Amino acid sequence: AFRQSTSFFARFISDDTRNAIQGAIESAPVVLFMKGTPDFPQCGFSRTTIQALGHQGVDPNKFAAFNVLEDQELRDGVKEFSQWPTIPQLYVKGEFIGGCDIVVEMSRSGELADLLEKENLLATEEAE
């Protein structure tokens, strides 16, 4: 069904791209579309977001990052898909959370930790 809230641009994103993005979002409980990689972020906002997630203790086994710089269609597509104009973009359990500013604010307020804990997405300390 066509939703009225869908922007004018949404129909320009191909079904293939939409399906690929949906698949990426479903590939892990915590998904970040970013510029660069977690080890080598290629923009300050992506670096800040990765640091915030690391600081929160996200379980690496439940995390996936996608480098939008490797694929122009992905880079444009994720913006249309989420109706959010900037990269990085964070998804938790398939739900769009937001970009760098929102992630940082949620990290500061404790909201991000609460969400990750509630969804059982934090790395657990191995029992000795």
Cis previous bond, 88, omega within 30: yes
Largest CA distance in the chain: 55
Which tokens sit at 60?
Answer: 């690496």
Q: 3-state class of 101 per DSSP?
A: helix
Quote the DSSP letter at residue 35.
Answer: S
Q: Is 43 annotated as a binding residue?
A: yes
E-strand stretches of 1-128: 30-34, 63-67, 89-92, 95-98
How far apart CA 56 and CA 66 sit, in angstroms, is 20
Annotated binding site for [2Fe-2S] cluster: 43
Binding residues: 43
